[in-house]
Amino acid sequence: MKNIKYISQEISAFHGRTAPEQGKLVGYGAIIDALKLPTPIPFTLVLISKKRRQYAMDGWLVLTPRHQPDDNLYAHLVFALKYEGVNLLLFKKLFEKLPSRDVEDWIMKEPQSQYSRRIWFLYEWLMQKSLQVPDLREGNYIPLIDEKQQYASPKSINSSRHRIKNNLTGNVNYCPLIHKTARIERYISENLADKTSVAINGVHKDILLRTSAFLLLKDSKASFTIEGENPTQNRAVRWGKAIGQAGSKPLCKEELLRLQQIVIDDNRFVQMGYRTEGGFIGEHDRNTGEPIPEHISARWQDIENLMGGLLESAKQMESSSFNPVLSAALIAFGFVFIHPFVDGNGRLHRYLIHHILTTMKFTPQGIIFPVSAAILEHISDYRKVLEKYSHPILDFIQWKKTPKNNVEVLNDTMDYYRYFDATIQTEFLFECVDYTIHTIIPDEVSYLQKYDAMKGWLDDRFQMPDKTIALLIRFLAQNNGKLSQRAKEKEFAAITEKEVEQIEEAYKEFF
């Protein structure tokens, strides 16, 4: 297979994507196509321009003819590592098809090449078996992940056999990666954690406590709403309390099971704990009841390994001081893609964002970070980033309908849940974090400050009970600052028409 010819091909479109110009497809995209590897097409494809132009646009990186690799598998892999970063899923699927002797030949021909050494390490790490190649005895250590292209762990582990610094953020059972993009880099450079502190700096402690309490309930209700549920007040408050405790206990399987018990109010009809059957998100055919999946969950037989890897990765990111938002994206989205439970996955997925941001000291002490509320404000984009992962892998999952109209996965799919590209999901989470800091938290703080000012004004003039003041302000807010005729005749019949006008003027001034 190493001598396969004609990996590059002239294209003007590829897998439904129109190229910005005609040229030769190279790198990972070309390898996937030539070898028919069962892996989604990368979000960015690389094209060699005939016009000697170099630019990036709309999911394409266009390079000049001088960048054209030799048309063989090894040359395209070297090119891809150089310009596209590490694609763990592609390497795993490639190594499953490729005779180990081919990889050994590459290494023996260029044992000191940084690219052959990285391929060598990836083979032994992904396949969990050694090649017939002697250990390297000399040479500098080189990082596995190029930090100009992808985000790597701040702490690496040296592999003396390959003279490689393993700076992956995860382990062999769970290791999604994130490409560096202008959007993510901009958010990181803005030091959003510091901006949260600035947003609440100088706010009276009483208002901060009330803000936090309101945001807890707001976030809890938003998380249920995202799932299409309308919980009772008690249920929303109970889940809000759980969110408020995020970060207080170590993340482990037992803790996730405890949280699922809180999420599922009535478990008579739900199997608790990790699934012991297939799972999918989607609809059932109205006439036949057959499943119509939008997302197929990981095989239940793989959940222990995947979740063990995910939880270990979370510990690794925390101990290495990896960026908190990057960590939250990698862990929380991986969790919801695996879908380890029959029910409660969505709310626990968003809880994990709270947990990681709190544990890694991104969230200031004493304030709740209402990420579910921000997601609800961007619900259409949220669904799209979930689909960006789920839809491409559907083509590679073989399944059949069960007698209960569930899905039973027939092939090995574990790699799709542990080696995915989380770039799009990370950009989305940063957007929600930014919206929370600049809009949701300041708006709530501002509202409470205005509320207190209005309450003080009403206290001075009418000595109303707090409950009555709250009702009056709520009525005014619901009716654009005007008290309805019904309210004037019933709840506030004791207030004269002139006093109503004064109250409405005051509301306009304060709010």
DSSP assignments along 287-312, one per residue: TT--EEEEEEPPPGGGHHHHHHHHHH
Q: Which residue has the higher pLDDT, 192 or 57?
A: 57
Q: Identify whether 452 is part of a domain.
A: no
* Residue 285, pLDDT score: 87
Q: Which residue has the higher pLDDT, 343 or 176?
A: 176
Indicate if 120 and 46 belong to the same structural domain.
Answer: yes
pLDDT band per the 50, 70, 90 thresholds, residue 438:
confident
Distance CA 179, CA 160 (A): 27
Indicate if 13 and 116 belong to the same structural domain.
Answer: yes
Indicate if 239 and 378 belong to the same structural domain.
Answer: yes
Indicate if 258 and 334 belong to the same structural domain.
Answer: yes
Indicate if 211 and 127 belong to the same structural domain.
Answer: no
Kindly tell me if the per-residue pLDDT of 392 is higher than 70. Answer: yes
Indicate if 360 and 440 belong to the same structural domain.
Answer: yes
Count of domains for the chain:
3
Indicate if 284 and 136 belong to the same structural domain.
Answer: no
pLDDT, averaged across the chain: 91
Reported pTM: 0.91
The rounded Cα 327 to chain-centroid distance in angstroms is 9
Kindly tell me if the per-residue pLDDT of 200 is higher than 90. Answer: no
Distance CA 489, CA 395 (A): 64
Q: Are 115 and 81 in contact (CB under 8 A)?
A: yes
CATH assignment of the domain containing 361: 1.10.3290.10
What is the mean pLDDT of the segment spanning 150-166?
97
* Residue 386, pLDDT score: 96
Helix (H) or strand (E) holding 337: helix 324-338
* Residue 193, pLDDT score: 78
* Residue 316, pLDDT score: 97
Point out the domain boundary residue: 444, 476, 491.
444
Q: Are 177 and 147 in contact (CB under 8 A)?
A: no
Indicate if 228 and 101 belong to the same structural domain.
Answer: no
Structure tokens at 490: 């019933």
* Residue 384, pLDDT score: 95
Q: Is 234 exposed, middle or buried (0-12, 13-18, 19+ CB in 10 A)?
A: exposed
Indicate if 403 and 496 belong to the same structural domain.
Answer: no
Dihedrals phi, psi of 477, to nearest 5 degrees: -65, -35
Measured at the CA of 137, the angle between CA 134 and CA 143, to 5 degrees, comes to: 95
The three-class DSSP label of residue 214 is helix
* Residue 262, pLDDT score: 86
* Residue 220, pLDDT score: 85
* Residue 202, pLDDT score: 67
Indicate if 408 and 291 belong to the same structural domain.
Answer: yes
* Residues whose CB is less than 8 angstroms from the CB of residue 301 and which lie 6 or more positions away in sequence, other chains included: none
Range of the domain at 490: 464-510
Indicate if 506 and 401 belong to the same structural domain.
Answer: no
Residue labelled with tokens 């891809």? 80
Q: Are strands 164-166 and 157-159 parallel, antiparallel or unpaired?
A: antiparallel
Q: Identify whether 29 is part of a domain.
A: yes
